[in-house]
Amino acid sequence: MSTVVITGSARGIGAATAALFADMGFNVVINYNTSEADALALLDKITASGGKAIAVQADVSQMSGARLLFDKAKKAFGAVDVLVNNAGIAQQRLFTDITEEDYDRMFDVNVKSIFNCCQCALPDMIHSKYGRIINISSMWGVVGASCEVHYSASKAAVIGLTKALAREVAPSGITVNCIAPGVIDTPMNKGFDEETINALAQETPVGRLGTPDDVARAVAFLADEKSSFITGQTLGIDGGFI
């Protein structure tokens, strides 16, 4: 049975991805930092349905947290076959109001966490000549967003990391791809008022916001053996927004 680690998987896209992989028969490692109640509720849901999962509290923006996560995953299920780097934060702020602390935190969570987790996952993947890494970026990492300069820059960095790492590890049978979601109906967007949400839905050509399941299904495709000739790519799941 294959094992997947999904960072930031207590809620939103990460939780939908964890539930889908459990339905697909994977051993699922749920990771959370602060959302313990949500993570444990997801764990109960998966195990009640006959799935195999564990929940691990770890701040993967720190290498020590990433190592803890992978140590517990390996102890429970063995080597990790699929890594979904989903942990992320967002912030709307004028560029001139962004502090050094804001900038550093954004890159630590959105980019450094991916570096940390890939470093932990790759030795076993290289040894087994197989692995799937899927990184969650954003459409704003492709085109940029006003009042989200540090967020957009961090998500653009995820795309660059994906492309470079894909070239490096492809000879070892490992694919590395990226998903750039559009406006998805998740807790990350709960800060927007109803008028803004409706406007974003209208701007999306398909006429609605995306759902966590829309993104989860794309992650599952990139983790499948059928996608073995796809690597270094950024897949937009944005309803035609960009």
- Closest listed residue to residue 174, CA positions, set 68, 79, 60, 55: 79
For residue 53, what are the β-bridge partners?
Answer: 28
Q: What is the CA radius of gyration of the chain?
A: 17
Cα gap 50→22, rounded to integer Å? 9
Asked about 32 being catalytic, the answer comes back as no
Q: Which amino acid is at 22?
A: A
Q: Which two tokens stand for residue 142?
A: 């492709």
User: Within a 10 A sphere around the Cβ of 194, how many other Cβ atoms?
Assistant: 7
The SS3 call for residue 207 is coil
The catalytic residue positions are 151
